[in-house]
Chain A
Amino acid sequence: KNEVEQSPQNLTAQEGEFITINCSYSVGISALHWLQQHPGGGIVSLFMLSSGKKKHGRLIATINIQEKHSSLHITASHPRDSAVYICAVLIWRKLVFGKGTKLTVNP
């Protein structure tokens, strides 16, 4: 059983659309991270959440600790947002990763 489940696995959108990616987890955590991986491999951290909501530009991340659920939203999506988005939960000093959501934004 995966401790971190993401949905959807794949998502195709038109430029300008509002995007939501969901993450559910089944264990107690210290924090939840959202990461982005562009084609070519490089992974960068987008957000760290332990409660509430964070916003960075067009990206918004929320977490509901009681429900064990987090969402990543992208407003006014753009082709350059095309990437794999990965949810990860912090357990002790290790991150446990979801399998990622591949987002394609068409012009």
Chain B
Amino acid sequence: DVKVTQSSRYLVKRTGEKVFLECVQDMDHENMFWYRQDPGLGLRLIYFSYDVKMKEKGDIPEGYSVSREKKERFSLILESASTNQTSMYLCASSRFQGDGTQYFGPGTRLLVL
């Protein structure tokens, strides 16, 4: 069974803080994704990576950066958290040559005060 884990389920941070969200998958998947999910807007892609040290911007990359130093780990960084980054953050992974099925982590609910 694929397992995708995220470092925290709930996180409270202050405006201006640097925030790290970590995601780890155990199925040797090449592709990894970071999404945010907001009511009425659905899932929106922030960044994705299809290989170690590779990254591509998604639909809403502003205010975020990512790091993929190892195949199993994909980190999302909020350089200077702002209140409009309060959201649910979901990580997912999939095989490079698969059918597109993505396996999701449980999500991190981030509140920026």
Contacts and interface: CB of A to CB of B under 8 A. Distances in A.
Contacts, number: 51
A42 B9 CA distance: 11
Interface of A: 30-31, 33, 40-45, 48, 50, 86, 88, 90, 93-95, 97-100
Contacts of A94: 33, 45, 48, 58
B42 A100 contact: yes
26 contacts: A31-B99, A33-B100, A33-B101, A40-B106, A41-B106, A41-B109, A42-B106, A42-B107, A43-B90, A43-B104, A45-B101, A45-B102, A45-B103, A48-B101, A50-B99, A86-B42, A88-B43, A93-B31, A93-B48, A93-B50, A94-B48, A94-B58, A95-B102, A97-B43, A99-B42, A100-B42
A41 B33 CA distance: 16
A50 to B, nearest CB: 8
